[in-house]
Amino acid sequence: MKCDAVVLAAGKGTRMFPFTDTLAKPALSLLDRPLLHYVFDFLRYNGVERVCVVVNYRADDVVAAAESYGKELPPVHPALPEWVPERLRLRFVRQGEPLGTGDALRSAERYLSEDFIVVNGDLLITKPVLMPPRSILVVNRDHNGEYGTPVIKNSVLTEIREKQPGNLINGGAYRLTDEVFQRLQDLKPSPRGEYEITDVLPSLGLRPVYIDSDHWLDVGRPWDILTASRRLMQYLTPRIDGSVEPGAHLHGRVHVAPDAVVRSGVYVKGPVYIGPGAVVGPNSYLRPYSVISSGARVGNAVEIKASVLQENAHVSHLSYVGDSVLGRSVNFGAGTITANLRFDDRKILGVSRKLGAFVGDRVKTGINVSLMPGVRIGAESWIFPSAVVYSDVPRGARVVGIYRGGAH
């Protein structure tokens, strides 16, 4: 089988700590749907039916996410053209030692057709974008050097400037021909010892396809999960398929999935997503842009504000979760509070005035725990009762008292 597209999904995604310690980044959930599914949507927009997925780190996670695509219509996604296929034909290619995007592409060479799309496996593109032959996706957005800056002259890509501020971003998607492999043969490693596809793109005569930054997101850091969820909720289908008890109040665009339960005394202000089998209430408050994923639990006297609770996360009583992401099977003890605003009103982590905690899979907190703005808690850590966490916590730590670094 020759593929019409290749998805680069082999990287570890270390910037996404704590979530990628226990799950490959393309498999991270956005409204109960793997990030990889949204990448596949982009390929479907372009009529792709056969896809190679390059894997390495936690390859089984990526394979499972890919193979679940198309099995059911998700509650949230931009409208898809009717003519594209519901399912994709998939081939998985394992990259050996991870030596960069150019090396990842070379690992799939023998499986690709003469004309194909290359796309990073961590992109969220929420607008149908058609990639014509010999093209590069370019994002209209200012940045401070955290992205590559394409230089376009006479409507052709001539250079990609790395680590320099600019007003355009390399969008991480390209439509190429097999000519690229001739260029890759002569590619020299970058200063960090990797072979980068961006080093050969300027020699291929690519033309830009522009996209507005509101419809493109590089999901690279924990807080990007919040941004991605907020953007996807523009397409949220308001419907009630689960059970809503008398005395619950739902306002705005609220999606209650099958087998979910919203108990009496709950107040929901949409847009809010409540996934399959989730339980909310009694007497809890869900504020806009909150995501309660499948099997999650929000209990009595709990307030959730613009946060994401991943699969089977539990916040059962007397807690506040604001601008935060809780990983799979997290359990918050009674009175656990996420702080999301500094006294001096400065941006947290340089990102936002309001930013809460990012809590890895299977973390447990005791009663009356306080998590300060922007802290990241490594997977499988225990935060003991009355602890106050000011600094990032490594995976598997045991935290007692006031924590400013150095796990107990």
Which residues carry out catalysis? 317
Q: What sign has the CA pseudo-torsion 108, 2, 173, 184? A: positive
- Specify the 3-state DSSP secondary structure of 32: coil
Q: What is the DSSP string of 305-344?
A: ES-EE-TT-EEEES-EEES-EE-TT-EEPTT-EE--B-TT
Q: At a CB cut-off of 8 Å and minimum separation 6, what does 150 contact?
A: 136, 138, 157, 159, 160, 168, 169, 170, 208
Q: How far apart are the first and last CA of the chain?
A: 53
Cβ neighbours of 251 (radius 10 Å):
11
Distance CA 208, CA 206 (A): 7
Q: What is the DSSP string of 4-30?
A: EEEEEE----GGGTTGGGSS-GGG-BS
| DSSP one-letter code for 362 | T
**Angle in degrees, 0-180, between the axes of helices 59-67 and 35-45, rounded to the nearest 10:** 50
- Specify the 3-state DSSP secondary structure of 170: strand
Q: Look up residue 102 and give its two tokens.
A: 């150019």
Which stretches of 96-251 are assigned E, i.e. beta strand? Answer: 112-120, 123-125, 135-143, 149-153, 156-161, 166-177, 207-212, 216-218, 239-240, 243-244, 249-251
| DSSP one-letter code for 152 | E
Distance CA 248, CA 280 (A): 10
